[in-house]
Structure 1
Amino acid sequence: MNFEKIGLQVPKILLPKPGTDMQKWAVIACDQYTSDRTYWQRLEEQTKGSLSTLPLIFPEVYLEDDDAEARIKSINQQMDAYLADGSLVEQQEGFILIDRKTCEVESRKGLIVALDLDQYDYNKGAQSLIRATEGTILDRLPPRIKVRENAPIELPHIMVLIDDPQRTVIEPLFNEDLETVYDFELLENGGHLKGYRIDQPELINKIAAALENLADPGAYKAKYNVDDAVMLYAMGDGNHSFATAKAIWERLKEEAVDKEAIMQHPARYALVELVNVHDPGLEFEAIHRVLFNVDVEQLKAEMESFFAERGTPMTFTACADLAEAEAVADKANNAHAFPVVFSGQFGVCSVAKPEFTLVVATLQAFLDKFLAENSAAKVDYIHGTQPVTDLGSAADGAGFYLPSISKHDLFKTIVFDGALPRKTFSMGEADEKRFYLECRAIK
């Protein structure tokens, strides 16, 4: 069942067979703990011998290892095996309503649906129904494409946001009498997850009608005071996974002999979790930066030179610890100030007369240039301040602590300014990220 006007498909979801240990089945998104191999090694031990999504994904901590091709082949073979031996069972067309408890929040609500990739555009200035919230790094797509292009199924960690302040789409569903599909504790401090089946036609139609109301051009114009094309969905987490699905779909269309028949291909859609940006359980966290393999004195000199040349001079103030650095940054006026840790030395970088609106954009402009000119240096994007402190305290390490943005301003910012700099915000801490669970056939 499709609702093309709002880019919505009612999917046939694949769930693990009855009796599966769901705690071992569900694992966290592959783009978490990207500098912590011990986390993923623990998962391997915890899920050994059990049905699990772990062998179906490519944790990004291993992306630069020499066995990438073999790992991808193994992933596709395991997917085929789970389909062939009945480990995955196709459900009747429907959605899954989700209630997630984490160590930070009592409840975060979501709805598993499929969205139309034909109505998504991640390019700058896009006016599509589904839009990227951050810049898409094209270099990050090829390894993901290799994983997905021959995969018979998809399993998403993608979370897509809707701007529903009146709570008309997802929240009313919790007042319905619904069948519980799963109810269990997640691994590794992930919290608790409950899922409810929604396959009743009347409820599905109510959901679609509520989304259509959000997408009404008149209501959209009144909400944002613009005459632009409607943006109903904004990417939250998993932007590059959604962009990967889009790239493969565009390739399929281009190569298709029967241009009409290809439009019915299951790869036209991608499985996602819809979340209301106004859900009290949804928290926006900053994404920090860590550099590896750098000469700290050279780094500081290049920062000073970079910002001086742009007429936005930077000063560095040494501090005793992170708390003092945060206090100094908070007192900065008319400047973009952010705490740093350079080889264990805390401090604050303050950029006067910044040319960008967001602090992250100011820093990222420098980092992009620095990384392009210093091939030995590497960057990682980190959730939480402690890992930044730990990694930035290495002799050849540097950490940058960044502020979070208000989630209530997100849609309006995208409408008026377009996509934000990449890795601007995170929806919760690392262990609050979506866990893989539901699957869907894409072949």
Structure 2
Amino acid sequence: MINRRLAEKLKNDVGVSVASVLLPKSQMVDMTKWSVVACDQYTSEQSYWEEVKALVGDNPSTLWLIFPEAYLETDDENSKAERIKAIHAKMEEYLKDGLFDELEDTVILVERQFPGGNSRHGLILAVDLERYDYSAGSRSLIRATEGTILERIPPRIRIRENAPLELPHVLLLIDDRNETVIEPLFARKDHFPKVYDFQLMKKGGSIRGWAVQDEACIENIYQALLRLSDPGYFSEKYGLTGQQAPLLFAVGDGNHSLATAKACWEKLKATLSPEERENHPARFALVEVVNLHDKGLIFEPIHRILFRVDKDRFIQDFCRHYNALGCKAYATTEKPSVPPGSHVIGYVSEGSDGYLVVEKPSGNLDVATLQGFIDVYLKENPGTAVDYVHGSDVVERLGRQKGNMGFFLSPMDKNELFRTVILDGALPRKTFSMGEANEKRFYLEARRIR
């Protein structure tokens, strides 16, 4: 058990709680069938989720505790309500059946091994939603890295607001260049009890976890996070002038899930007394913290697919839009030679492919150029829909289907992330992905939120 003073310092100074984590009892579950990928993956591929369902069968699984977003567009309101009701019932069932071990005052050290051989390292803990603000221009300790789509939050609220448990797929990033928070723990991981070690399904690789409960280790985590959030150190690191509020945690994945947790907490706390608000479990959200400089952390672009789109009209309107803004915009079937700073966006469609070119763009990122026009086009053409996908193979497969277009975007330099968010605010939504879809966080741990 950590002492009360340390717990208060963690919450008040760095927005962290290490109160408790639930893990399924390995003797009661097949861990490979228990753990499934984040609900916001494979959103245009219901076949993936049907294959997961067949693999899981009737076994205990996080599949029954989440709402795969591939079904959001196809389920009617009654089906959605029944699915959410079943999720809540299954959570209650698992708690009643004693499926979980509860680890008090614990953080979990995580090593994810990917099929290609790379490893990513992280730390499971809870963060204080009072220190998180996803709104534009936020100066909170925990911030979104991309624009939050508010209409994506209400369906998630319906799941969380009456749920007894949360299961995290949120990844928060720290800019820890000197490797002071997570890496020292891995140097002595063999001193900690291993709490899981198994293969993930569907080419997800493998995962291992160790329980860190030693008070001295948790004190070291606190001191390292406190250093990263020190205003003087923060300003010096980024060469800032004037007063800039420190950014300690940047949301890498799962921004809308964290925003949902925030929205639910704001609604709930209005019904609580000041004393009840201080340490209510719903005030916190379980996340995995990853160092931006982890060698296994790869930033991948998030590509776009348009459905029910008139390809020729889209191209014509795209060029007209950016030419009217003073850029030089055109389409070509051959990869062009362009001036530095130009944006060249490859596309595919049924029977053809080519490039959209914008010279002298107003923004730095090609994703901002493409998404800026897609937003305009969707308003004028409500029959067209967009999805955000990982992997050029998915763009090829879906983009070439009749009535579709697929667009390839460039990766972002991860070393520019924190400085960009600090100076410019949130990036365009779906700017980058931390790995391909099968490398996303899999649901595994849980936490009580009521």
**TM-score tier (shorter):** over 0.9
How many Å separate the matches in 2 of 1:441 and 1:360?
A: 38
CA distance in 1, matches of 2:316, 2:346: 17
> Aligned residue for 1:100?
112
Q: Does 1:27 align with 2:39?
A: no
Letter in 2 for 1:47: V
Residue 159 of structure 1 pairs with residue 171 of structure 2: yes
- Residue by residue, what CA displacement relative to the aligned partner does 1:266-301 show, whole Å, maximum 9, x if unpaired? 110000000000000000000000000011111112
Equivalence for 1:235? 251
Q: Report what 2:101 is aligned to.
A: 89
Cα pair distance change 1:154/1:199, threshold 3 Å: same
| 2:65/2:90 contact within 8 Å kept | yes
Contact 1:9 1:116 in 2 (8 A): yes
> Tell me, what secondary structure is at the counterpart of 2:90?
helix
1:69 matched to 2:81? The reply is: yes
- Measured after TM superposition, the shift of residue 106 of structure 1 is 2.5
Residue number in structure 2 paired with 1:264: 279
- Residue 252 of structure 2 corresponds to residue 208 of structure 1: no
Secondary structure of the residue aligned to 1:419 is: coil
Residue 276 of structure 2 is aligned to residue 253 of structure 1: no
Are 1:17 and 2:30 counterparts?
Answer: no
The 2-side partners of 1:196 and 1:336 are apart by: 45
Of 127, 130, 145, the residue aligned with 2:157 is 145
What amino acid is aligned across from residue 178 of structure 2 in structure 1? Q
SS in 1 for 2:418: helix
1:97 and 1:111 in contact (8 A); partners too: yes
Deviations 1:65-115 (CA, angstroms, capped at 9, x unpaired): 111111011001100110111112211220010000012342110000000
1:189 to 170, 194, 203: 203
Q: Does the residue aligned with 1:218 lie in a helix, a strand or coil?
A: helix
Counterpart for residue 274 of structure 1:
289
Cα deviations across residues 395-418 of structure 1 (Å, max 9, x unaligned)? 211111000101111111111111
For the 8 Å contact 1:332–1:350, the answer to whether it is kept is no
Give the Cα–Cα distance (whole angstroms) in 1 for the partners of residues 294 and 326 of structure 2.
41
CA deviations on 1:344-385 (whole Å, 9 max, x unpaired) are 311110012211111111111100011111111010001000
Matches within 5 A, 1:383-402: 383-402=390-409
Following superposition, the deviation at residue 38 of structure 1 comes to 1.2
Q: C-alpha displacement at 1:253, in angstroms?
A: 1.9
The answer to whether the Cα contact below 8 Å between 2:228 and 2:248 also exists between their aligned partners in 1 is yes
> Quick one: which of 7, 16, 28 aligns to 1:8?
16
The question of whether the paired residues in 1 share the 8 Å contact of 2:339 and 2:359 is answered with no
Aligned position for 2:4: none
Give unpaired runs (5+ residues) of structure 2: 1-6
Task: Give the aligned residue type for 2:245.
Answer: A
Distance of 1:396 and 1:122 partners within structure 2: 35
1:300 corresponds to: 315
**Is residue 2:422 matched to residue 1:407?**
no
Q: Tell me the residue number matched to 2:3.
A: none
> CA–CA distance in 1 between the matches of 2:228 and 2:149?
30
Amino acid in structure 2 at the alignment position of 1:293: R
Cα distance in 2 for residues equivalent to 1:288 and 1:370:
17
Work out the CA distance in 2 between the residues paired with 1:343 and 1:139. 31
Map 1:117-128; keep pairs closer than 5 Å: 117-128=129-140
Tell me which amino acid in the other structure corresponds to 1:317: T
Corresponding position of 1:322: none
- Greater alpha carbon shift after TM alignment, 14-23 vs 196-205: 14-23
Hey, what's the Cα distance between the residues in 1 that align with 2:389 and 2:366?
Answer: 16
Is residue 2:377 matched to residue 1:370? yes
| CA displacement, residues 284-330 of structure 1 (integer Å, 9 cap, x when unaligned) | 000000000011111112112211221223110014xxxxx4xx47x
Quick check: 1:179 aligned with 2:193? yes
Question: Is the partner of 1:337 in helix, strand or coil?
Answer: strand
Matched residue, 2:67: 58
Structure 1 partner of 2:447: 440
SS of 2:112's equivalent?
Answer: strand
Q: Which moved more, 1:300-309 or 1:5-14?
A: 300-309
Work out the CA distance in 2 between the residues paired with 1:354 and 1:245: 36
Q: Shift of residue 332 of structure 1?
A: 5.1
CA distance in 1, matches of 2:15, 2:60: 33
Structure 1: which 5+ runs fail to align? 320-324
Aligned-residue offset at 1:209: 0.8
For 2:257, give the aligned amino acid: S
3-state secondary structure, aligned to 1:255: coil
**Secondary structure in structure 1 of the residue aligned to 2:138:** coil
Deviation at 1:196, TM superposition (A): 0.3
Cα distance in 1 between the residues matched to 2:291 and 2:351: 39
1:109–1:281 contact (8 Å) kept in structure 2: yes
Instruction: Work out the number of aligned pairs and report it.
Output: 434
Superposed CA deviations along residues 238-273 of structure 1, whole A, max 9, x for unmatched, are 0000000001111112233x1332232111000000
**Distance in 1 (alpha carbons) for counterparts of 2:326 and 2:88:** 52
For 2:254 and 2:397, the matched residues in 1 are separated by: 26
Q: Which residue of 2 aligns with 1:244?
A: 260
Q: CA RMSD in A?
A: 1.2
Q: Separation in 2 of the partners of 1:103 and 1:192?
A: 8
Aligned letter for 1:160? L
Paired with 2:420 and 2:197, the residues of 1 have a C-alpha distance of 36
In structure 2, the partner of 1:288 is: 303
Contact 2:112/2:120 (8 A) holds in 1: yes
Normalized against structure 1, the TM-score is what?
0.96
- In the aligned structure 2, how far is the partner of 1:24 from the partner of 1:395? 35
- TM-score relative to the length of structure 2: 0.94
Q: Which residue of 2 aligns with 1:36?
A: 45
Structure 1 counterpart of 2:199, which letter? E
